[in-house]
Amino acid sequence: MSSIGRRKRAPLIFTVVFVAIITLTAYFSWRHIDIIRYFVHRIEYRLNPSKFPNYSEKVLFDIYGIDVSHHNDVIDWQMVREKGKINDKPISFVFIKATEGKSFIDKRFTRNISEARKNGFIVGVYHFYRPEVNSFEQFTNFKTNAKLKSGDLAPVLDVEVRGNLPYSRYIQGIQNMLELMENHYGIKPILYTSPSYYASFMQYPELKKYPLWIASYTHGSVRQFNDIQAFHQYTDQGKVAGIKTKVDLNGFKGDKLKLQKYLIK
């Protein structure tokens, strides 16, 4: 091929590659726009927290709690009970990670739930949902290991990952998991997610019936969920006596009487 021919084809190849890159970028952004918004929001907070006056421990609730997993290392639960305070109020409830996907079990779960119960906390247990994994297999993992009992908070489904499933299958899997939990424990499970994730669920009435635990670090972004939101995770930067790491802080939107409706009978 002559050098003239090669020069003529070079711009064409460049154009094709450029269009392919733009197309793939647009497709990825569309499929994962909720994740992108979530992490942009968190990065923006890390860079300039003064823009978000509600990112603080001064969010006021009547009842406070924390959520923990193996990421919080070994916890001194007696110290949490005796000295752990949020806004000068005692910690009343604890959500503990139990399982994830088909077979993962949090390595600190057994100790965390045993010690939390022994020290008088109301405990809740959550499962981290993996969209690509069969929902029945995930439920089996949770049911086998969570060991919920009367007086515990309703089971929690933690939805943070979009995965690569078609949208209808993604939503169907979440719904299946929630129904399995509800049928087994006799109480509506709690759905943990972010506002941007939940915004994509709003067109599905089947998911609106479940109480929400919203992870949002700006108060304004959760006002739209006032009717169905039960819990609010309002910071991941909390400090609590007895816990070496930073910890998620949560508030319950109600009083002790209202909290009873979220307990397993």
What confidence tens digit (pLDDT) does each residue in 100-144 have? Answer: 999 999 999 999 999 999 999 999 999 999 999 999 999 999 999
Confirm whether pTM is higher than 0.85: no
Q: Are 68 and 94 in contact (CB under 8 A)?
A: yes
pLDDT at position 57 = 45
Question: Looking up tokens 């943990």, which residue turns up?
Answer: 192
The full DSSP string for 169-213 is: HHHHHHHHHHHHHHHHHSSPPEEEE-HHHHHTTTT-HHHHTS-EE
What is the pLDDT at residue 229? 81
Helical axes 135-146 vs 167-185, angle rounded to 10°: 30
- Whole-angstrom CA distances from 12 to 1, 8, 22, 111, 264 are 16, 7, 15, 62, 65
Tokens of 177: 């998991």
Mean pLDDT rounded to a whole number for the chain = 84
> What's the chain's length in residues?
265
Q: Compute the distance between CA of residue 124 and CA of residue 113 in angstroms, rounded to an integer.
A: 9
What one-character DSSP code corresponds to residue 157? E
Q: Which residue has the higher pLDDT, 56 or 120?
A: 120
Model confidence over 238-259: pLDDT tens digits?
999 999 999 999 999 899 999 9
Q: How confident is the model at residue 173 (pLDDT cuts 50, 70, 90)?
A: very high
Tokens linked to 138: 């995930």
Please give the pLDDT value at position 53.
42
